[in-house]
Copies of this chain bind each other. A is one copy, B any other.
Amino acid sequence: MTAAFTPPSPDHTRRGGRAGKRAGASATFEQPPFRQLKIPFEPTRIVSDDELESIHLASLRVLKEIGVEVLHEEARAIMKRHGADVRDGSERVRFDSDMIMELMASCPSEFTLHARNPAHNVRFGGNNLIFAQMGSAPNCSDMDGGRRPGNQADFRNFLKLAQMHNILNTTGGYPVEPVDIHPSVRHLECIRDFVTFTDKAFHIYSLGKERNTDGIEIARIARGISREQLQDEPSVYTIINTNSPLKLDVPMMEGIIQMSGKGQIVIVTPFTLAGAMAPVTVAGALVQQNAEALAGLAFSQMVKKGAPVGYGGFTSNVDMKSGAPAFGTPEYMKAQLVGGQLARRYNIPYRTSNVCAANTVDAQAAYESVFSLWGAIQGGGNFMLHSAGWLEGGLRCSYEKMILDIDLLQMVAEFLTPLDLSEDALAIEAIRSVGPGGHFFGTQHTQDRYKTAFYAPIISDWRNYETWMEAGSPTAMERANRIWKERLASYEKPPLDPAIEEELNAFVEKRRLEGGAPTDF
């Protein structure tokens, strides 16, 4: 603080004198504690209830008249038993609208995802908000090492960053695919790492029955609970991306059977890119998204009534010149808001994302991401996958983007923290004591609060131009590069009960010796 500060005028701003001399953002930033975030305001309704109903009814017509292709024989048998229109010799399944809605009514509106550290449990549904790290990038990058295929060392580094940043409530699949581990045992190594490098809840991939059952068993071992308790306490989640348009393949159906059958969380997320795997209109893409989501979600309730599920929205548009997917676009934001309205219509948790198509951590990466956050938060998202690290349309997890996103998420969390409107905060006495023409720097009201009054960003550089130039005019990306290295250096493994670690290692060894999982997925 400086007494030399000269009050500027908003439309004639001046920052001079000794203002803006603070050092650049520090890596040893103080974090808010791990907490269950909530969205304190009503989500934005971008379409009317009647308009929403027209999307809902159109998707029911798609399910009834067109149907979906279900490639999994047992799944078709389950559907038939529940009254779906399944015909011999055909993979096409059609659904009666009342049946779909009856099944949807059995989806729980809220539930808890349990972590091995109970302090890291998170709540799905209602106005709860969960941030999960990015998942599934084939590549990673940083400014020093450049872009490279994923490997175990980078995979573990990203888990460390997920563990040490309280704003990341869970991990979100493999932040980067560690291709240096053989695919047959990769899931065993990766999930063991989830449990040992972090104590937060995690995701497992639905890529064949073994990967699901191994993941569920490791989640059980990590929590040291019985199979019965696990059944009642969701402790792991999976994402089911339908094969748009209108196809549900074998690993997807197998994943729902294993996960829903054991009371674990299934989030059905159609990848309805308008103009590619879905109609070129946002409304049409949403109709298809909704039809596919309803098919998957209804199936989960056939497997087990009351199984915890989430409605995933991922509808975006493509660059019509190339077919490349675009993210954080106006069309994407509209789809996010309508997706939220649909999920609330069915009264189930809504999954969103923080995504961009940029190739580097520049202005584009930031504006596409913040537009994504805008749509997700105003859309009432409950679970945000790919919250941190996502670059290049998901082809890359970036160390610098990870830090940038952590800062963005912390800002969003601060924005969502209810305003203090106590008498003290309204500050009439402070205003009286300062009076016209004074300033508030030196007042007791300010002195008592200034250290914690405002969110202190990780990356934002608020130094004045001259000081910033003298410091080498660092961009936000360069500051993020310095910070992730300092952060990683201070990582500490979370404690793990030695008995649990032993059981975990024994299970992984046994499954390795058995050959792991088939690699023909």
Contact = CB atoms under 8 A, between A and B. Distances in A.
Interface in A371-386: 371, 374, 378, 385-386
Given A362-B477, A370-B370, A321 B427 contact: no
18 contacts: A10-B271, A12-B241, A12-B394, A14-B395, A19-B322, A44-B378, A54-B426, A276-B440, A277-B439, A277-B440, A278-B440, A280-B446, A280-B450, A287-B428, A324-B463, A359-B473, A364-B460, A364-B461
B438 A322 contact: no
A476 B69 CA distance: 42
Contacts of A51: 419, 421
A296 to B, nearest CB: 13
Interface residues of A, number: 156
Interface string A452-466: 011101011111110
A453 B366 contact: no
Copies of this polypeptide in the complex = 2
Given A41-B44, A367-B408, A393-B13, A288 B19 contact: no
A19 to B, nearest CB: 5
Given A288-B427, A363-B404, 18 more contacts: A7-B244, A10-B394, A11-B136, A11-B385, A13-B325, A47-B419, A54-B426, A62-B431, A66-B436, A275-B450, A281-B424, A322-B463, A329-B411, A330-B414, A334-B415, A363-B366, A364-B460, A366-B367
Interface stretch (A79-87, A153-161, A312-320, A507-515): A312-320
Contacts of A314: 10
A346 interface: no
A143 interface: no
A258 to B, nearest CB: 18
A58 interface: yes
Given A55-B426, A275-B440, A322 B2 contact: yes
